[in-house]
């Protein structure tokens, strides 16, 4: 039998609308709600090549099949400002990735994460205790970013300030990864990474003067034994310090806004503890903090009949996969009772899946539970301010009142 391999639908295909209509990357409406566009492309061109040569993969089944394949590499030869993380597990393939990940994994076991979550709860309680009745709380910062950032700082053994500038730096850095970055995006990302590097270098120097018992101390000791390089340690600490409150802060805020809009779900969350994890998984499915993840294929492959040559960049579209009707019935609706909610890909897939996903889940449950136990109702006290791109989702402000 002869198998015909189809070329990828692409930006220059005369049978398709132009890329600027199919995927209007810079359009604010698209950035805020790309899902109608994703639905169309997923149905008609599930593997689509954009003008820079990158292949976008939209179907859940294709991402599950290929996102974890050994031929998928994270070793990007053109990293730009993200060279700042080149010596972390983020941009290393196995076996080096495995060895680096193992260094931190023992700090994020289920037993230890329960301990770390106590810090998350403490920070949320402090905010709630300090608030007067009817006071407007900046929930994104105070109830989502701050608790998760402080938790990571305590794991590392770092000072707990920098609550605002650290996540802001990561937002700026993520702008360099969008499909059509602005000309100054990479320079701005480099400046953001320079800030993170400066802060982490200061804290490493302080650790050497006054050692402690945190994860940072363990990595520094491994460097002194010759087991890690200086760049391994510096950049790993930058990664952990920078990411601690970034994505968890978004997901925490989206949950609080959702509970304000759906008091019935907040009531279910409060009164039926056995459903809490399902509610969180459905929130994460519908609202991934990162909308895609890139890989470079090291072999010639075929995805859904499309031939892709070795060395090609592939972008796996999480936001599309999480709403694929082949996997999720009524995919745009919130339904925490759906049996397959946990099949979402919001934490990526394969060996490079998010190393902090268990911590994030427990932090979210801790945040939501602490708030739910202290209030009957959440009220939006103003219009939320968001900053979304095709690569990541973020809040600038989420004013709420608790009743």
The pLDDT of 223-250, averaged and rounded, is 97
Q: What is the pLDDT of residue 398?
A: 98
13 pLDDT band, cuts 50/70/90, is low
Contact 161, 373 (CB under 8 A): no
Q: What is the DSSP letter of 201?
A: H
176 pLDDT band, cuts 50/70/90, is very high
The C-alpha atoms of residue 353 and residue 205 are separated, in whole angstroms, by 31
381 pLDDT band, cuts 50/70/90, is very high
Contacts of residue 351, Cβ cutoff 8 Å, sequence gap at least 6: 68, 94, 97, 98, 101
For domain 79-290+349-402, give the CATH superfamily.
Answer: Cytochrome P450 (1.10.630.10)
The model's pTM:
0.94
3-state secondary structure of 131: coil
What is the 3-state composition of the chain as percent helix, strand, coil, each rounded to the nearest 5? 55, 10, 35
Compute the residue count for the chain.
403
Contact 344, 333 (CB under 8 A): no
Q: What is the pLDDT of residue 333?
A: 97
CB neighbours of residue 384 within 10 Å: 19
For 1-66+293-345, the fitting CATH number among 3.30.428.10, 3.40.50.720, 3.30.70.20, 3.30.43.20 is: 3.30.43.20
Contact 285, 322 (CB under 8 A): yes
The C-alpha atoms of residue 120 and residue 147 are separated, in whole angstroms, by 5
* Mean pLDDT taken over the chain: 94
The pLDDT of 259-279, averaged and rounded, is 98
Measure Cα distances from 8 to 3, 16, 55, 127, 307 in Å. Answer: 15, 12, 8, 52, 7
Measure Cα distances from 35 to 31, 76, 133, 174, 179 in Å. Answer: 9, 28, 38, 20, 16
Q: What is the pLDDT of residue 8?
A: 61
The C-alpha atoms of residue 125 and residue 121 are separated, in whole angstroms, by 6
List the domain boundaries for the chain. 1-66+293-345, 79-290+349-402
The C-alpha atoms of residue 238 and residue 290 are separated, in whole angstroms, by 19
Q: What is the pLDDT of residue 3?
A: 33
The pLDDT of 173-191, averaged and rounded, is 96
- Token pair, residue 28, equals 């604010």
In b/e form, how buried is each residue of 157-192, taking b as 16+ CB within 10 angstroms? bbeeebbeebbbbbbbbbbbbbbbbeeebbebbbeb
161 pLDDT band, cuts 50/70/90, is confident
User: Hey, which residues does 401 pair with through a beta bridge?
Assistant: 379
Contact 88, 239 (CB under 8 A): yes
Q: What is the DSSP letter of 145?
A: I
The C-alpha atoms of residue 84 and residue 189 are separated, in whole angstroms, by 10
Using the predicted structure, report yes or no on whether residue 111 has a pLDDT greater than 50.
yes
Q: What is the pLDDT of residue 133?
A: 86
Measure Cα distances from 222 to 92, 217, 232 in Å. Answer: 19, 9, 10
Q: What is the pLDDT of residue 76?
A: 86
- Token pair, residue 177, equals 């990864």
The pLDDT of 181-206, averaged and rounded, is 97
The per-residue pLDDT for range 33-49, each reduced to its tens digit, is 999 999 999 999 999 99
Using the predicted structure, report yes or no on whether residue 124 has a pLDDT greater than 80.
yes
Residue with token string 């095709």: 390
Using the predicted structure, report yes or no on whether residue 12 has a pLDDT greater than 60.
no
The per-residue pLDDT for range 76-103, each reduced to its tens digit, is 888 999 999 999 999 999 999 999 999 9
- Token pair, residue 258, equals 């959702």
The per-residue pLDDT for range 284-339, each reduced to its tens digit, is 999 999 999 999 999 999 999 999 999 999 999 999 999 999 999 999 999 999 98
Using a 10 angstrom Cβ sphere, with 0-12 exposed, 13-18 middle and 19 or more buried, the burial of residue 354 is: middle
The C-alpha atoms of residue 266 and residue 251 are separated, in whole angstroms, by 15
Q: What is the pLDDT of residue 131?
A: 93
The C-alpha atoms of residue 321 and residue 334 are separated, in whole angstroms, by 16
The C-alpha atoms of residue 147 and residue 249 are separated, in whole angstroms, by 8
The per-residue pLDDT for range 354-367, each reduced to its tens digit, is 999 999 999 999 99
Using the predicted structure, report yes or no on whether residue 183 has a pLDDT greater than 50.
yes
């Amino acid at each position: 039998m002869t198998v015909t391999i189809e070329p990828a639908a692409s930006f220059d295909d005369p049978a398709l609308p132009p890329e600027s209509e199919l995927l209007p990357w810079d359009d604010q409406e698209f950035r805020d709600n790309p899902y109608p566009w994703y639905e169309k492309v997923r149905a008609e061109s599930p593997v689509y090549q954009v003008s820079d040569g990158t292949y976008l993969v939209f179907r859940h089944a294709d991402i599950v099949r290929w996102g974890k394949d050994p031929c998928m590499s994270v070793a990007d030869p053109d990293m730009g400002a993200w060279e700042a993380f080149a010596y972390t597990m983020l941009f290393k393939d196995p076996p080096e990735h495995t060895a680096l990940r193992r260094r931190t994994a023992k700090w994020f076991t289920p037993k230890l994460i329960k301990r770390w979550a106590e810090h998350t709860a403490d920070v949320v309680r402090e905010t709630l205790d300090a608030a007067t009745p009817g006071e407007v709380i900046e929930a994104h910062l105070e109830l989502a970013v701050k608790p998760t950032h402080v938790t990571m700082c305590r794991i590392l053994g770092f000072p707990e300030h920098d609550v605002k500038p650290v996540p802001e730096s990561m937002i700026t850095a993520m702008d360099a990864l969008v499909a059509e970055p602005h000309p100054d995006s990479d320079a701005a990302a480099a400046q953001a990474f320079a800030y993170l590097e400066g802060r982490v270098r200061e804290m490493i120097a302080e650790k050497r003067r006054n050692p402690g018992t945190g994860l940072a101390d363990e990595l520094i000791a491994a460097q002194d034994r010759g087991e890690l390089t200086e760049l391994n340690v510096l950049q790993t600490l930058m990664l952990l310090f920078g990411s601690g409150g970034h994505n968890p802060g978004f997901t925490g805020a989206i949950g609080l806004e959702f509970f304000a809009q759906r008091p019935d779900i907040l009531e279910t969350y409060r009164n039926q503890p056995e459903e809490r994890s399902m509610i969180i998984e459905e929130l994460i499915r519908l609202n991934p903090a990162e909308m895609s993840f890139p890989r470079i294929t090291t072999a010639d492959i075929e995805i859904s009949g499309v031939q892709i040559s070795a060395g090609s960049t592939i972008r796996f579209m999480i936001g599309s996969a999480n709403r694929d009707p082949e996997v999720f019935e009524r995919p745009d609706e919130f339904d925490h009772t759906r049996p397959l909610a946990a099949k979402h890909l919001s934490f990526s897939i394969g060996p490079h899946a998010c190393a902090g996903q268990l911590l994030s889940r427990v932090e979210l449950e801790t945040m939501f539970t602490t708030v739910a136990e202290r209030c009957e109702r959440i009220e939006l006290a103003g219009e939320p301010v968001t900053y979304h791109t095709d690569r990541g989702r973020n809040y600038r402000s989420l004013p709420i009142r608790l009743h």
